[in-house]
Amino acid sequence: MGIKDLLELEWLKYRKNKLLWFSVVGFVVLLMGILMAYSQARVNGSDPSGGMMDLNRYLKFPKVWEFTGYIGGNWMAFFLDGFVGVYLIASEFSRKTARQQIISGLSRSRFVSAKLLDFLLFSIILSSIYFLVSIAFGMAYTGDVSWGSTVREGIFMAGRFALMNMVYITGAGLIALLLRKSALSMLIYMLYGLFLEVILRWYVHGKILSNETNRFYPFNAAEDLMPNPGREIFDMTGVGAEFPLYLEPGQAIVTSLIYLGIFVGLMYFIGSRTSV
């Protein structure tokens, strides 16, 4: 079965799946809702830091790319990718539909390939939404727009957004392939993403290696693809003076690609040896 056949197979399975469609629609509605609510927010009082308190600047080009990416990626997509990645894998085992496909002649590696294509497609869909929403808000809040450079930057940022999604969703899929239980897999994914990696980075890593290298953890690298748009505040307060808190875009891209490669490799390795 080639890529087209695998995509067709997954389309046959999920085209009527309301859960997945609601996830996509929910992402659009929630992302736009948050940005619209944010656009209505105002800060009372004087601005001591030369425009830092102008909240709308995050909705203007080029900051809107980072801001939308941070909200839509590091928070919403983190949860949504985890849910979808776990669901697409674990449900195939809990319903034993993976078994039905294998005994019908689908190879295990093709099964994994089909899931990775799902992940890629889902990442592309979310990235396209991110791109369009950012463009819409950027246009609404920016005066003069240089379209050539704006679109180029948008495509670059959408690519980073897609890569971040791929790391999250593949990480979740890998956990689900190992554990096969939806609730447990989701719990481990959340615990790792929200707590364990933070504990490892800030409480364990420094005792073994220099703190400067604690940025190269998988989900942190993915997170730094869409860094906190308010990180300049850290610069002002002196936080991060000893060593940089964020990976540079190039570092984040390379590190995320390496982890994505490891996750994909592990999925094939485990998937080809797993009983169904």
Residues at the contact surface with other proteins, assessed by CB under 8 A: 1, 5, 8-9, 12-13, 16-18, 95-97, 99-108, 110, 273, 275-276
Report in angstroms how near the CB of residue 15 gets to other proteins at its nearest: 9
175 with 264: CB under 8 angstroms? no
What's the Cα-to-Cα distance from 183 to each of 24, 82, 93, 128, 170, rounded to whole Å?
21, 11, 13, 29, 17
Give residue 214's identity as a one-letter amino acid code. Answer: N
The nearer residue to other proteins, 97 or 146, going by C-beta atoms, is 97
The nearer residue to other proteins, 44 or 104, going by C-beta atoms, is 104
List the Cα angle 187/189/191 in 5-degree steps.
65
Locate 38 and state its tokens: 């944010």
Give residue 83's identity as a one-letter amino acid code. Answer: F
Report in angstroms how near the CB of residue 23 gets to other proteins at its nearest: 14
Report in angstroms how near the CB of residue 272 gets to other proteins at its nearest: 10
The nearer residue to other proteins, 115 or 215, going by C-beta atoms, is 115
The nearer residue to other proteins, 1 or 30, going by C-beta atoms, is 1
Report in angstroms how near the CB of residue 105 gets to other proteins at its nearest: 4
The nearer residue to other proteins, 16 or 42, going by C-beta atoms, is 16
Report in angstroms how near the CB of residue 2 gets to other proteins at its nearest: 12
The nearer residue to other proteins, 42 or 273, going by C-beta atoms, is 273
Burial bucket for residue 135 (CB in 10 Å: 0-12, 13-18, 19+): buried
At CB < 8 A and 24+ separation, what contacts does 152-157 make? Answer: 153/61, 153/62, 153/65, 154/65, 155/131, 157/65, 157/66, 157/69, 157/130, 157/131, 157/226
What is the per-residue DSSP string for 8-72? HHHHHHHTT-HHHHHHHHHHHHHHHHHHHHHHT----S--TTSSTT-GGGGGSTTHHHHHHHIII
